[in-house]
Chains A and B, each alone.
Chain A
Amino acid sequence: MMKKMEPFRIEQQEIGNSYELKLIGELDLSVVPQVQGALEHVLRREDLALVLDLGGLTYIDSTGIGIIVSILKTRDSLNAPFFVRNIPPAIKRLFDMTGLTGHLKEGTEAEA
């Protein structure tokens, strides 16, 4: 009944003028340092569109939502593009509930 639990991991790739971080597994308090480490060198890159692909995410809580909010704020202050893509329905529901949805730009390949 339960799916095999994969350890949280991040796949990163630069495609053209966008940089994509794909989050896979469960995003909770324990992986905050891992996410912040992955973001460090791209968060302030104004020449790239930052894309967060959540398609492989099986769990998120307020810690993860907090990280997304801090990315939003930093990218906004730099006037740099930031897109979120492939939000699973259960996670979308939490984004709606917390008021995050209205602040997100959902990106497609073409837009990003």
Chain B
Amino acid sequence: MRPVRLQIPAEAGFIDVVRICLTGVAAKRGFAYEDIEDMKVAVSEACSNAVLHGGREAGGEAIDITFEQTDEGLTVRIVNYGLSFDHAAALQEASPIKGESKGDLRVGGLGIYLMEALMDEVRMSSEEGKTEVVLTKYLGV
């Protein structure tokens, strides 16, 4: 199956367009409603990071999203341009909300934690000027 490609400006106001496109592609691939909702959150998290780290201020203009339907399910690639990003450190910091009392709650690493919790595979790579996040969800897992 040939991939579906989408390019959005690297701005928060276009992340909803990615969710709409994802909903269409995932429904076409046969995913259940709950799985699509999970993927929407995970893909949005990746796009939020792409906007925050690869937006105008970081020298990025656009975010490229590729939806690849595979035999096993769906793989979504989110690529942003601009400053490189320490993905190894980010993956290590992935965590649910930390802190014992309300006063010292911390949310660092929550986005990547959610990607990992909601998808079957999360891969990240970063080279000079380009960061890629690859999210995969299997059908019927």
A: residues with CB less than 8 A from B are 1-2, 5, 26, 28-30, 32, 59, 61-63, 65-66, 69, 72-73, 76-77, 90, 94, 97-100, 103
Contact = CB atoms under 8 A, between A and B. Distances in A.
Interface in B19-44: 19-20, 23, 27, 34, 37, 40-41, 44
Contacts of A103: 97, 102, 105
15 contacts: A26-B19, A28-B48, A30-B15, A30-B16, A61-B48, A63-B48, A65-B107, A66-B110, A69-B107, A76-B102, A97-B96, A97-B114, A98-B97, A98-B113, A98-B114
Given A61-B111, A90-B37, A26 B97 contact: no
**By DSSP majority rule, is chain A's interface helix, strand, loop, or mixed?**
helix
B128 to A, nearest CB: 25
B51 interface: yes
Contacts of A30: 11-13, 15-16
B117 interface: yes
A62 B16 contact: no
B45 interface: yes
Nearest to B108: A66
A97 B27 CA distance: 24
Nearest to A31: B12
Given A29-B12, A61-B48, 15 more contacts: A29-B52, A61-B111, A62-B48, A62-B111, A63-B111, A65-B107, A69-B107, A76-B103, A90-B34, A94-B41, A97-B96, A97-B117, A98-B110, A98-B114, A103-B97
A69 B45 CA distance: 17
Contact of A62 (B19, B51, B103, B110): B110
B96 A99 contact: yes
